[in-house]
């Protein structure tokens, strides 16, 4: 861990700068020069750590994905064996993640990046796919544990609520200047879990 009076290593400063700028302003709108200025490093330093901007984008998304997964893991651990709490954990985890990262008006970094990273060979595509797999696979497993008649259907509904909460919070922050807190999706998700479980019992 870097001491309070020490500078972070150059690679970390580059990733911190990339995360701030790519997330706030967009990937295409942020040039390498802006990242270099924010990180206070020379071009040679960037290319010593990354092959170019595309690989910097991939590393930024990789680090964000790993932090997001770790946060969700922590929340799941706190839920214990309660199947409903575990199925709802994605909403608690995203709130926790945003508190740690600092709230902004851009919503989901992966959804924003997916709009801009359209080249199938872009190195960042690996981490966009990893985020999708994590959400799909984990929500389906949690839905099954919660007793859903059709775990895939409940997982899809929870994912829609998750994406909608992020989009609604971002829209509110942009249009009103309010903190981009998520709408009360947890109550909607709770109702969805109960409905899908009841469908299973009715068979």
Neighbours of 68 (CB within 10 A): 22
Q: Output the pLDDT for position 180.
A: 46
Query: Which pair of structure tokens corresponds to residue 81?
Result: 């064996």
Q: pLDDT of 18-68, one tens digit each?
A: 999 999 899 999 999 999 999 999 999 999 999 999 999 999 999 999 999
CATH of the domain at 104: 1.10.357.10
Is 158:192 a contact under the CB 8 Å cutoff? yes
* CA gap 87, 85 in Å, rounded: 5
User: 60 is in which domain, residue-wise?
Assistant: 53-201
* CA gap 185, 187 in Å, rounded: 5
125: in domain: yes
5-12 average pLDDT score: 80
In the predicted model, is pLDDT for residue 76 greater than 90?
yes
In the predicted model, is pLDDT for residue 3 greater than 60?
no
In the predicted model, is pLDDT for residue 182 greater than 70?
no
110: in domain: yes
| Number of domain units in the chain | 1
Look at 3 and 170; give whichever has higher pLDDT. Answer: 170
pLDDT band at 200 (very low <50, low <70, confident <90, very high): low
Neighbours of 99 (CB within 10 A): 10
* CA gap 49, 56 in Å, rounded: 9
Look at 167 and 64; give whichever has higher pLDDT. Answer: 64
6: in domain: no
Q: Output the pLDDT for position 2.
A: 40
Q: pLDDT of 91-136, one tens digit each?
A: 999 989 988 877 555 678 999 899 999 999 999 999 999 999 999 9
* CA gap 66, 61 in Å, rounded: 8
78: in domain: yes
Alpha carbon separation from 145 to 40, 80, 81, 155 (Å, rounded): 49, 13, 10, 11
89: in domain: yes
Backbone φ and ψ for 196, nearest 5 degrees, come out as -70, -35
* CA gap 96, 81 in Å, rounded: 20
Backbone φ and ψ for 109, nearest 5 degrees, come out as -60, -35
37: in domain: no
Q: Which long-range contacts (CB under 8 A, 24 or more apart) does 28-32 make?
A: 28/116, 32/56
139: in domain: yes
Is 0.75 surpassed by the pTM of this model? yes
130: in domain: yes
Mean pLDDT for all residues in the chain: 88
């Amino acid at each position: 861990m870097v001491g309070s009076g020490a500078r972070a290593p150059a690679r970390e400063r580059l990733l911190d700068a990339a995360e701030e700028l790519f997330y706030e302003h967009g990937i295409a709108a942020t040039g390498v020069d802006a990242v270099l200025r924010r990180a206070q490093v020379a071009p040679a330093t960037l290319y010593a750590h990354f092959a170019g901007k595309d690989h910097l984008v991939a590393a930024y998304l990789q680090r964000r994905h790993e932090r997001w997964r770790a946060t969700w893991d922590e929340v799941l651990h706190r839920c214990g064996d309660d199947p409903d709490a575990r199925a709802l954990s994605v909403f608690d985890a995203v709130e926790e993640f945003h508190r740690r990262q600092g709230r902004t008006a851009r919503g989901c970094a992966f959804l924003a990046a997916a709009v801009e990273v359209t080249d199938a060979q872009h190195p960042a595509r690996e981490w966009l796919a990893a985020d999708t797999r994590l959400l799909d696979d984990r929500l389906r497993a949690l839905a099954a544990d919660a007793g859903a008649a059709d775990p895939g259907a409940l997982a899809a509904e929870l994912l829609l609520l998750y994406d909608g909460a992020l989009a609604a919070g971002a829209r509110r922050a942009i249009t009103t200047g309010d903190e981009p807190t998520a709408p009360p999706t947890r109550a909607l998700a709770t109702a969805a879990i109960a409905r899908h479980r009841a469908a299973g019992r009715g068979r």
